[in-house]
Amino acid sequence: MIRSSGMFRRHLGMFARCAIIAGLFGPAANSAQAIPLADLFGGETPEAIVAGDKLFSNWQLINNAAATDLSQIDVTPLDDPAGNPGLRYTDTGGALTLDTLGEEFEIAFRFTVTVLDPTQQVSGSSLELVDAATEGFALVQILEGVDDGTEDTILATKIVTSQGQPVIDDPLAVATFAPQQSVGVSTVLFGLVEGAEDFGRLTQFDQRFSQVSIAVPEPASLGLFLSGLAGLGFFGRFPRGVKAGRRQKRA
């Protein structure tokens, strides 16, 4: 009965630990559905997103100069292709559409990308304007900086642009850097319309993060530990043999 009670307590403890992990990562890991960008900032329980083997966490809103409605911008995890997961941002309500003279948006935020697989590290990133358009004197631009997590060491910078006049179309930027287990990402969204008949919109863009495999050395201490156990077993038996021999001699 005591034994069964002990087993029950052990299983209960394992269940509790699993429940805590599921509570932390379950909603994010299972959310192929989108999360409003506004929900990722602040709150009593900060949101996180898992895409493939990467965790996107520590979201911080740095600036929202035009008070853009961030609840209209959905963030969706991208699991495919394997080894290059990321995030897709989609404007679902026209928050990033500009059609009035002098209208603009400027949004700056930051988050952390961490590889959950210990055999992989982040080694590159891409930034792409999936759906954007400008007409006349209008500009839509995204700037991205990747650092080592301290904001002191910059690993890569990228800019993608859609500009109506003069016509500039640079929808994709890719960079590689030294492999990192975790990186910090700073992103700035900017849009401006300078004429009464000009038009600009940023409907969708992607941020992806590629990775490389790293060698994980076998712990040398494991072999020493096993050798030590074998030695303890041998010497633990040796005194009993000596004692048995002494008893025989006395007999």
What is the structure's pLDDT at 101? 92
What is the structure's pLDDT at 82? 78
* Residue-range domain boundaries for the chain: 31-213
The pTM score is: 0.76
What is the structure's pLDDT at 43? 67
pLDDT, averaged per 10 consecutive residues of the chain (251 residues), comes to 39 35 41 85 81 95 97 94 91 96 96 95 97 97 97 96 96 97 98 94 97 75 53 48 48 50
What is the structure's pLDDT at 233? 54
Give 180's strand partners: 122
Tokens encoding 159: 């800019």
Q: Pairing mode, if any, of strands 120-135 and 73-78?
A: unpaired
Residue 200 contacts residue 138 (beta carbons within 8 Å): yes
Helix, strand, coil distribution of the chain in percent, nearest 5:
25, 45, 25
What is the structure's pLDDT at 2? 37
What is the structure's pLDDT at 223? 56
Please name the amino acid found at residue 145. Answer: G
Q: How far lies 102's CA from each of 20, 65, 164, 166, 228, in Å?
A: 49, 14, 15, 18, 75
What is the structure's pLDDT at 32? 65
What is the structure's pLDDT at 167? 96
The secondary element (H helix, E strand) that includes residue 75 is: strand 73-78
Output the CA angle 124-57-65, nearest 5 degrees: 90
What is the structure's pLDDT at 20? 34
What is the structure's pLDDT at 47? 85
